Chain A
Amino acid sequence: MIKAILIFNNHGKPRLIRFYQYFAEDMQQQIIRETFHLVSKRDDNVCNFLEGGSLIGGSDYKLIYRHYATLYFVFCVDSSESELGILDLIQVFVETLDKCFENVCELDLIFHMDKVHYILQEVVMGGMVLETNMNEIVAQVELQNRMEKSEVRTFLNSFL
C-alpha cells in the first residue's frame, strides 16, 4: 500500500500532496516539513530509500523518492510494495506528466495542481497501484479532458 504521495520543490514548498490515510491539515504540513528535511539533506548520488520517517507509519514504512531538477517526488509505502517497482512507478508518473503537459516543468505543477491530481488518479487509486502502462494512462486522461472540453463547448453554446 502507498500511504502518501508528496511532491515538493527544492525549498520544501508542496506542489501536490495526496494522503491515503487521514491526517489533519497541520499534521500534513508537519509531515511535509519532516519529509523535506529528511530528503533534502541527501546527496543525489545516494540511494533513494529512506527509513525512519517517524510521522508516517513506523518501521514497516519506507520513503521512496526521486529528485527531478527542482522537484522531489516522494512516495511513502509499506513493505508490500516493491522498492524498485515504486521507483519505476515514479518514473512512469513523471513521464506521463511530461506527455500530458508537453515538457513538464515545475510551473505546470504549480498552476495545474488539479490536472496533476487527475493524472495521478489514473495511476494510483486509494493507495494501490491502478495502472502502470503509460499509454493507457495518457489515453484515459485525454478522453476525460476531451469530455470536459465538449461540456464547456456546449455550455458556451447555450449562451449564444
Chain B
Amino acid sequence: MALKIVKGSIDRMFDKNLQDLVRGIRNHKDDEAKYISTCIDEIKQELKQDNIAVKANAVCKLTYLQMLGYDVSWAAFNIVEVMSSSKFTYKRIGYLAASQCFHEGTDVIMLTTNQIRKDLSSPNQYDTGVALTGLSCFVTPDLARDLANDIMTLMSHTKPYIRKKAVLIMYKVFLKYPESLRPAFPRLKEKLEDPDPGVQSAAVNVICELARRNPKNYLSLAPLFFKLMTSSTNNWVLIKIIKLFGALTPLEPRLGKKLIEPLTNLIHSTSAMSLLYECVNTVIAVLISLSSGMPNHSASIQLCVQKLRILIEDSDQNLKYLGLLAMSKILKTHPKSVQSHKDLILQCLDDKDESIRLRALDLLYGMVSKKNLMEIVKKLMLHVDKAEGTTYRDELLTKIIDICSQSNFQYITNFEWYISILVELTRLEGTRHGHLIASQMLDVAIRVKAIRGFAVAQMATLLDNAHLLTGNTQRNGICEVLYAAAWICGEFSEHLEDPMQTLEAMLRPKVATLPGHIQAVYVQNAAKLFATVLRKHDGETESQAAQETSQLLIDRLPLFVQSANLEVQERASCILQLVKYIQKLQQKNVEVAEEVTALFAGELNPVAPKAQKKVPIPEGLDLDAWINEPPSESESEDEKPKAVFAKEEPKHSRSRHTEVDEKELARRREVRKQEQANNPFYIKASPSSQKVYDAPGVEHIPVVQIDLSVPLKVPGMPMSDQYLKLEVERRQKEKAERKKKEKKKKREKRGKERKADSGPESEEDITPAHQVDIVTEEMPENALPSDDDDKDPNDPHKALDIDLDKPLADSEKLPVRTHRPEALKSPAEDRDSESVPQETKKKSGKEKKKDKEKDRKRSKEEKKKKKKHKEVEEELLESQPEEAVQSEETKEAAAPPTSTSAEEVTAPSSAAAAVDTSSAAAPESEPDEPKDTEPEDTKSSKHKKKKQKKEKEEKEKKKKKRHHHHHQHHSDAGGEDSVQNGTVEEEEPLPPMSNYSLLAENSYIKMMKEDADQVYDIQGNHQDESKVVVSVIFENKSDSFLKSMEFNVLDSLNSKLQRPEGAGAHDSLTVPFQLPPGVSNEARFVFSVQSIIMPQKLKGTLTFIVKSDESSTHEKLDFKLHFTCTSYLITTPCYSDAYAKLLESGDLKGSSLRLEGINMPFHHLLARICFHHHFSVVERIDSCASMYSRSIQGHHVCLLVKTSDQTVSIDAKCDEPSLLGNVLDEIKQTFSKC
C-alpha cells in the first residue's frame, strides 16, 4: 500500500521531465508549436501543485522552452518559489531559471532580497555559490544596494570557492550601485594578494574591468600589479594584468618605461601564444605612449614587428589575424617599421579569409606614400574586380577612397589619375557607396582648381554614358555619382568643350527615371549650361546655335515640370518660363547672354564640415529667448504640455518667458528639432538626402540584368592604368634630370668628394604632376576651438568614475541592516571612520600626501608658480630660524601664491649647491616637527612641513634643469597605503613625494638613489637570500662630457653587488651610458643580501672621465649605500582575524619600546610609523592600535602602539628578535628627531 502511494506520487511528479519534453519535441517536428503549447498547459498545471519537486521540474522545463524563444516571464513567481526551496537540487533549478529570464523589469525580483540574503549566509557553500551565480545575472540597483554589504562580507569567507565568486560579483554590484565602490575597494584590493590563485584571478579580473573604463583612478595600483606581474605564473592573470597596463601606460609614460624590460623578457620566454600576443600589444601601447619623449626604443619596436611578422606568417589563421590587428596599432605611431612588411600585408589581401583581408586593408591605410599610392590602389582595383561578396567589395571601395583622400589628399600626386580611379569605381554595381564617390568627385573638382578642366571632361563623358550606370542600378546608390557629374559640368561649364552635347545628355527623357534629388540637380545645371552656351555665341547676331539651345530646353523641360518631385517640378517650371522669355528676347535680337550668365555668377568656395557648428554665438545673444512676445496659449491647443502649464501656473504666464527652466528649454528645443525635421524647406545637414530615393516600392521594380562580365570600358574614358604608366615614366624622367643636375654639381665640385648615389627616392623627391592648388576649407572668423567630446552619456561606467584615493567619508558606508552584527571592517575603513568624524578637516599625513599629489597633477602652471615660490622660501629657510619659516609658510598658505619677481626666481646656484652638500654630508635637523601645542594649527603646519621637506628634496633635484621634478610621484602614488619607501636613515626621512634620495655628489656629478618598491625577494630559489635592486640616477652637473663611468661597491659578507659572470669579486660595473652636460640617466644595480636582520652600510666609489674640449681628467666620487632594516619591510595589509591568529600562534618573540615626550596626535604618530617604516594599521581602538608589516623574507612584525599623555609605548612581536630590535631602534630614531 505504502509502496503504491510512493509509486503514484513519483509517477505524478515525473510524468514528464526535461528529457521527456525534449524527446517529445523531437518527435513532433511537424507540429512543434502545437505540441509545445500543450506542454505549456501541462506545466501550468504542474506549477499549481503544492509539491515543490513538481514545481521544480516544471520550472526546469520552462528554462528549456525559454531557450527555444518562448517567453516564460509569466512563471516568474513560481521561479521565486522554487528558488526558496530548502533543497539544493531545487534551489539550483530555480536560480538557473531566474538567471535566464529575470531582468531589471521583472517585478518579483524585489521579493527575492531576503531569500537571497538567507542563501548568501547559508552554511552550505553551494547554496551560497548558487545564489551568487544567479544574482550575478539579474542584480538590480535595489538588490545591489541591499546586498552589497552581505557580499562584501563574503569576500573574506573561509572558502576560496565563495571568495572568488563574491569578488567577481562585486563588479556587477558596482555597476548597479556605484556608491558601493569606495567602501568596498580596500577589501577588493586586499584580494589581489589572496593566497588562493582563483580569488586572486577574480580580483584582478574585476579591477581590470573597472580600470579599463576609468584608468586614471587606478594608476595608484600600478606597483601592486607590477609585483603581481613579476611573480604570477598564471597566464590568465598575467594576460589580464598586461592588458590593464596597456590601458594605464597612456596616462603615465614612466610606468611604460619600467614595463618594457619585464615585458620583453616575457616575450622572449613565454611559450603561450596568447600571453606573447598580449605582451606585444602592451609593448606597443607603451611605445605609443612614449613615442613623443623617448626616441630610443627602436629595438623594442623591431622586436614587436618581428614577432608579429612571425604571427602573420604562421599557418594558423587566428595568429595571422591577430598579428595584423596588432600591426595596425603600431602603424599609427611607427609607420616606417610596418611599411617594411608591405609585401606580407599585400599578400594577406589575397587570403581566402575575409576577416584577414579586412584587417590587411586596415593596414594599407598607413602604408601608402606618394611613391606607392598608385601601385597599391591598382592592386586594390584588381581585388575590386575579383571580389565576390558585395560587403567586401564595398569595404574595398571605401578603403580606396579613404587611402586616397587621407590627410587632405596628401599622397596624391596626380589628380587626373584619381579622377579616373573614381570614374572606374562607378562601374561597381550594387554598391551602397555611390554617394561616397560622388562626394569625392565634388571635393576634388572644387578644391583642386587645376583639375577642373579634366574633371569636367570626364564628368561629361559620364553623363553621356549615364545609361550604363542607371540601366540596372535603380536599386543601388551608384547613380549618386550622376548628381556630382551634373553639378560639376554645370558649375564649371566654362571648361566644357561641347556644352551643347552635355546639355542634350542632361535632358534625355531617361533622366526622369533618376531619383528626384538628382533630377533637381540636372535641371538646375542644365540652366547653367544654357547660360554658358549663350555666352559662347554672344555677339553672333541671329545665332542659330543659341536659338536651338533655347528650343531644346523648351522642348525637354516640360517633362520635368510634370515631375512628382516638388523640387524638380518647381525648378523646371521656373527655368522653363525663364527660357521662354529669353527666347522671346532672342527673336527680337536682344543681347541676353550677359544677364543670363549673371544668374550663376560667383565662385563657390568649399566650407569646412564643422564650420557651421563653430560659428561663435555673439555675446549677448540668447538663442532660446523669445524674439517676439510668446504666442498666446490658445495658439497651440493641441499640445498637451502647454495646457498643463496653463492650468498649473496661469499667473506666471507673463514672466515665464524670461525665466524658463531647463526642462522647458529642452522641450522647446525638441519641438523645434521636430519641426525642422518635418519642414522640407529647412536646410538639413546632408545635402544629398537619401529620403527621396528610398521611396517605398522601388525595390520591387523589376531589374533587367545586363551582362557586364566583360570589363566595362566607357568610350573615351581614360583608364587609370594608363596614368600609372605615365606617372612612372614621368618620375623616371624627373629622376634622370635630377641626377643630371647632381652630376653637374659634382662636376662643379671637380669630383673632390665622391658622393654615394642619391640612394632610394625619398618622399620629398616626388613632385606632383601639375601644380596642385588645394583650396583650404573656409572656417568662420573666430571659430570656436574644437568641440568634439562625444562620450556616450548612457555608459554605465561613467558612474564608476570615482576617485578611489580620497579617504572614505563617514557617510560612505554600505547600507547595513541595523539588527545584524556589523560586518568586519577593513583596516582602511577603520582608520578613516575614526579619524574622520573627530574633525573632518584633520587628515592623516598619508591622505594629505594624496591630496597634495592631486594638487600637483592639477596643473603644471600652478606648480611652476608654486615652485618659484618655494625656491624663494628655500632661501628663507636657510637664513632664518625654523619657526619663522613656518610662520612664513603659513602665510603662504593663507594667501595664494603671488608671482615673484624675476630676480628672486633665479636663486643663486651656489647657495643651492650649499644646501645640497649640507644635506648630503650631515643629516639636517628634522624640519618635520609638528606643533601640537596649537591643535587648530596642526593641520596646516603639518601640511606645510611636508611641503617644506618636499621642497628641499625638489630643490636638490631641480638644480639648473629641474629634471626630476616629476620623477617619482607616480610610482609613489602606487604606494598609497603608506608604502613609503625605504628611506635611508642618514639622509633624513624622505618627504612624501619622492623616493629618490641624494647619494653623493661633487661638482661634476650627482647620484641619487631610489629604493623600496624595487626591493623584492626571490623566495623560490633561496630561502635565505634576497635580491635588492637599487636604482641610481646619475646627473651630469658640469659643462663637460662624462664617460667611462664605473660603479663599484666594497662587498660585505652579507651584501654583495651582483656582477656579471666571470667578473672578479672586486671588479667594478660599467655604467651603460655616457652623460652629455646637463643630462641625467638611470642605472640599476642588483645586490644579493643574505640576512636582512641587520642594517647594512656599503662603501662604494664611482669613477669617471671628465672630458671637456681641451682636456680630460679622471675623477672619482665616494658614497655610502645604506640599507636599513625598515627598508626590508613591505607594507602588507593584514586582517584582524589573521592578525589575532598570528599572535596566538606563539611563534613570535616580543620586545618593547617606550618613547617619552611625544606630543603629536595619535593618528599622526601612526601615520608616521606607517609612512616611514612600512607598517599598516590592523585595528585601532581609541589610543591603542595594532600594526603589521612583513619583511621581504617573510618575517612577521606586529606592533601594539599605546599612548597616554606624552608617552608612547610600543610592544612589538616578531619571529626574528634581532630584526625586531633593529626596526624598533629605527623607529626610536625617527621619533627622537621630532
* Chain A residues close to B by CB (< 8 Å): 1, 14, 16-18, 20, 22, 24-26, 28-29, 43, 45-51, 80, 82-85, 87-88, 110-114, 117-118, 121, 125-133, 136, 140, 143-144, 147-148, 151-152, 155, 159-160
Contacts and interface: CB of A to CB of B under 8 A. Distances in A.
Interface stretch (B271-279, B708-716, B862-870, B1150-1158): B271-279
Contacts of A82: 239, 243, 274, 277-278
Nearest to B60: A114
Contacts of A147: 88, 126
Contact of B88 (A28, A125, A126, A144): A144
B349 to A, nearest CB: 15
B1186 to A, nearest CB: 35
10 contacts: A20-B137, A25-B66, A50-B355, A82-B274, A121-B133, A125-B136, A126-B172, A151-B88, A151-B89, A159-B2
B1129 to A, nearest CB: 33
Nearest to B64: A113
Contact of B355 (A16, A47, A140, A159): A47
Given A47-B318, A49-B321, A148-B89, A126 B277 contact: no
B236 interface: yes
A29 B19 CA distance: 22
Contact of B212 (A29, A49, A80, A83): A80
Contacts of B100: 18
A25 B63 CA distance: 12
Interface stretch (B162-170, B515-523, B718-726): B162-170
Interface of B: 2, 5-6, 9, 18-19, 22-23, 26, 53, 60, 63-64, 66-71, 87-89, 92-93, 96, 100, 103-104, 126, 132-133, 136-137, 161, 164-165, 168-169, 171-172, 198, 201-202, 205-206, 208-209, 212, 235-236, 239, 243, 273-274, 277-278, 317-318, 320-322, 352-356, 358
B316 to A, nearest CB: 8
Nearest to B90: A151
Contacts of B169: 125-126
A115 B291 CA distance: 52
A50 B355 CA distance: 7
A51 B361 CA distance: 14
Interface SS, B side: helix
B1215 to A, nearest CB: 33
Nearest to B134: A121
Given A20-B137, A47-B356, A129 B18 contact: no
A22 B104 contact: yes
Contacts of B356: 46-47
A143 B124 CA distance: 12
Contacts of A159: 2, 5-6, 9
A3 to B, nearest CB: 12
A1 B209 contact: yes
A46 B353 contact: yes
A88 B234 CA distance: 14
A49 B53 CA distance: 43
A108 B890 CA distance: 77
Nearest to A17: B67
Given A25-B69, A84-B322, A147-B88, A43 B126 contact: no
Given A14-B67, A117-B96, A85 B239 contact: yes
Nearest to B352: A46
Contacts of B321: 47, 49
Given A43-B352, A111-B18, A14 B96 contact: no
B510 to A, nearest CB: 37
Contact of A130 (B2, B137, B202): B202
Contacts of A144: 88, 92, 126
A51 B325 CA distance: 12
Given A82-B239, A111-B18, A151-B88, A130 B164 contact: yes
Contact of A140 (B64, B161, B243): B161
B103 A22 contact: yes
A72 to B, nearest CB: 15
A118 B239 CA distance: 26
Contacts of A26: 69
A125 B132 contact: yes
A114 B96 contact: yes
Contact of A83 (B9, B198, B322): B322
B274 A88 contact: yes
B137 A118 contact: no
Nearest to A89: B236
Given A82-B243, A85-B274, A159-B9, A118 B67 contact: no
Contacts of A50: 355
The 8 closest A-B pairs by CB, nearest first: A126-B136, A84-B274, A47-B317, A22-B103, A46-B353, A159-B6, A29-B69, A47-B321
A144 B161 CA distance: 12
A46 B358 CA distance: 13
Contacts of B9: 159
B205 A129 contact: yes
Nearest to A46: B353
Contacts of A22: 103-104
A88 B235 CA distance: 11
Contacts of B317: 45-48
A128 B171 contact: yes
A47 B353 contact: yes
A108 B237 CA distance: 32
A25 B355 CA distance: 30
B232 to A, nearest CB: 13
B476 to A, nearest CB: 20
Q: Which of A113, A125, A144, A152 has its CB near the most chain B CB atoms (within 10 A)?
A: A125
B274 A160 contact: no
A45 B351 CA distance: 11
Given A50-B355, A82-B243, A110-B26, 16 more contacts: A20-B137, A22-B103, A46-B353, A46-B355, A46-B356, A47-B317, A47-B321, A49-B322, A84-B274, A85-B274, A88-B274, A126-B169, A130-B164, A130-B198, A133-B198, A144-B88
Nearest to A113: B64
Nearest to B9: A159
Quick one: which of B2, B236, B352 has the most chain A CB within 10 A? B236
Contacts of B161: 140
Contacts of A155: 53, 87
A113 B133 CA distance: 17
Contacts of A14: 67-68
A28 B151 CA distance: 30
B675 to A, nearest CB: 31
A113 B136 contact: no
Most buried by B among A1, A143, A147: A147
A147 B127 CA distance: 11
Contacts of B358: 51
Contacts of A85: 235-236, 239, 274
Contacts of B63: 113-114, 117
A151 B22 contact: no
Contacts of B103: 22
B1018 to A, nearest CB: 25
Residue of B71, B89, B172 ringed by the most chain A CB atoms within 10 A: B89
B239 A130 contact: no
B88 A148 contact: yes
Nearest to A149: B89
A116 B1190 CA distance: 45
Contact of A113 (B67, B212, B322): B67
Contacts of B104: 22
Nearest to B236: A132
A130 B352 contact: no
Given A111-B18, A125-B169, A83 B318 contact: yes
Nearest to A144: B126
A114 B88 contact: no
A87 B319 CA distance: 12
Contacts of B209: 1, 80, 128
Contacts of A113: 18, 63-64, 67
A84 B136 contact: no
